[in-house]
Amino acid sequence: MVSCQSKTQNKEINTSVNQLKMKEQFPNNKTAFEKINDKVIFYQPSGNKVLTIDLKSSEYEFYHPGEVYAQYLVKVNDFTCFLPKKMTENYVFSKNNSSTVKTSITKVFSTNELGLITAIVYELPENDGAKKHTTEFTYNKFAQLLKIEDNGKTVLENKYDDQGNLSESKTSDKHHKYQYDSSGKIVKAEEENNGIKNTFHYAYNSAGLVEKKYSENENEVEKFKYNTKENIIEFIKYSGKIDKSDTKKLSNHFVKKTYSYSNDRISEEKEYEYNIINASILVEKKWNPINIDEQRKLAWKKLDDKSELPLSALENQYNYQSKFIDIVKNQYSFSNRVKNGKTEPDKEVINTENIKFSLDFMGRAVKKEATDKNKKIGLQEFSY
């Protein structure tokens, strides 16, 4: 048996293409993407789904939050977005004490045959000499993002290994390198953010989904939990930093997000932020100091304590109908109050925002109206 392989395979993987097929496979023979009627599904070389695009409704479903690509779309929640052909944002602002000015910004989107963005042209107001701004996207043969350019300047550049795994990603302030096991799962990442270097390791569950990403000293941690349908139901991001005024004290910062689903769509999303500092514990009515590792372990334990007050909270509720999507966003502050001689946590709404997406008969978003508690209205209109 003779096996022939191209010596330029890696070069081909990192070369942009103008036209993509209906279906493509990675070198390991796993599907990279496939177009089935009006839907396009994109995968990682490990076999995990990355993104599904419904070309009919222009809806984009991500399988992991924080995708760079998602920030260029119209966001509904951490996993669901829309991509129109044209979007107009209207603004009203005060020019002086006696008059206001109305202005608008228009974005025109171009896509390829799979529904992926190839360009965004921003039509800006001509005030202050503003000109058109263009963002361009290029992809390789596996429909993976290679580069993003703003007016010809590279703002993101990705490189892939011979198997199609993302091996390197660079922006102006970030440089990340990744290592994989034989099944295509990330096992190690070297990340440099704003000049600060760190090494991360990954742990997976039995379904091959990432459960934990953590630095070698575990001062940086991300943890994930999933339901039986492999939807993320909890995400925790932790950062531990030594107190500048006391090197024996650790400041433990957490962001905890939880997701509830109804018919596989997010019905509720909650985000809580905590800062937990405990450099000593009470033993036999005496406060005894504990070391940094013990402080970290205690902070993780107190995170699940309902009496622990968050710094802040955001709670979003979603209502999906055939002609609209309603979203209610509440922001809370917390404090302790004494009731009947006992200290109880008090939760107060400090801001509320109501968002309504109007949908056409094909389920595409054609308008987004946002109203805050001061009745300030934001309006975006979409066309296809």
Q: Say if CB 316 and CB 75 are below 8 A apart.
A: no
Q: Say if CB 264 and CB 229 are below 8 A apart.
A: yes
- Left if phi > 0, otherwise alpha if psi is -120 to 50, otherwise beta: which for 71? alpha
Q: How far apart, in whole angstroms, are the C-alpha atoms of residue 41 and residue 53? A: 7
Burial class, 2, CB count within 10 angstroms (exposed 0-12 / middle 13-18 / buried 19+): exposed
Q: Say if CB 263 and CB 244 are below 8 A apart.
A: no
How confident is the model at residue 258, as a pLDDT? 98
Q: How far apart, in whole angstroms, are the C-alpha atoms of residue 277 and residue 258? A: 23
Kindly state the tokens that stand for 384: 């296809």
Over the stretch 255-307, which tens digit does the pLDDT of each residue have? 999 999 999 899 999 999 999 999 999 887 888 999 999 999 999 999 999 88
How confident is the model at residue 205, as a pLDDT? 95
Q: Say if CB 47 and CB 208 are below 8 A apart.
A: yes
How confident is the model at residue 105, as a pLDDT? 87
Q: How far apart, in whole angstroms, are the C-alpha atoms of residue 318 and residue 324? A: 11
Q: Which sign does the torsion angle of CA 217, 303, 207, 62 carry?
A: negative
What is the reported pTM? 0.88
Q: How far apart, in whole angstroms, are the C-alpha atoms of residue 2 and residue 351? A: 67
What three-state secondary structure class fits 127?
A: helix
Residue type, 129: G
Q: How far apart, in whole angstroms, are the C-alpha atoms of residue 134 and residue 108? A: 9
Q: Say if CB 162 and CB 6 are below 8 A apart.
A: no
How confident is the model at residue 66, as a pLDDT? 79
Start-to-end C-alpha separation, the chain: 53
Segment 5-28 shows an average pLDDT of 82
Over the stretch 293-308, which tens digit does the pLDDT of each residue have? 999 999 999 999 988 9
How confident is the model at residue 202, as a pLDDT? 98
Distance between alpha carbon 256 and the CA centroid of its chain, in Å?
Answer: 14
Q: For a pLDDT cut of 70, what percent of the chain falls above it? A: 91
Strand order in the sheet with 31-36: 23-25, 31-36, 39-43, 49-54, 59-62, 80-82, 74-75
Q: How far apart, in whole angstroms, are the C-alpha atoms of residue 50 and residue 46? A: 11
Segment 37-54 shows an average pLDDT of 96
Is residue 127 predicted with pLDDT exceeding 60? no
How confident is the model at residue 3, as a pLDDT? 37
Task: Write down the residue that tokens 């590279």 correspond to.
Answer: 154
Question: Which of 82-86, 126-130, 255-259 bottoms out in mean pLDDT, i.e. has the lowest?
Answer: 126-130
Q: For a pLDDT cut of 90, what percent of the chain falls above it? A: 77
Over the stretch 300-353, which tens digit does the pLDDT of each residue have? 999 999 889 999 999 999 999 999 999 999 999 988 776 666 767 788 999 999
